[in-house]
Amino acid sequence: MEWHIWVNFWGRAVSNAAMADERKHWYAEYRNGVWDIILDGQKRRFFQPDVDATKAAESLIAFVDGIGMHETLEPRRFSPKRQIELLEQHLSTLLQQ
């Protein structure tokens, strides 16, 4: 249900300046938070040191948004278990080997 709310919010933000500003603000904070987590993971040697944290944060956020969109459109195909499998696969590109 949460993703249905996000999709509705994104749609409304396209034509509502106040909602668009809120979306921009929220995503800026979200990106910064994910970026901080990736940098911390690199310092702790969980993530590969040569990964660009900015690109990795943007990629991860886009990936999660895409999973949420697909879950909204095809919930049977994108079960919670499937979502976790896909996310773990995506995250494995960041992890130290």
Rg for the chain (alpha carbons), in Å?
Answer: 15
Instruction: Provide CB contacts within 8 A for 85, sequence distance 6+.
Output: none
User: What's the pLDDT at 36?
Assistant: 97
User: What's the pLDDT at 30?
Assistant: 95
Is residue 72 within 8 Å of residue 4, measured between CB atoms? Answer: yes
pLDDT in tens, 29-40: 999 999 999 999
User: What's the pLDDT at 97?
Assistant: 67
Residues of the chain under the 50 pLDDT cut = none
Helix count and strand count (H, E) for the chain: 4, 0
Instruction: Provide CB contacts within 8 A for 57, sequence distance 6+.
Output: 31, 34, 35, 38
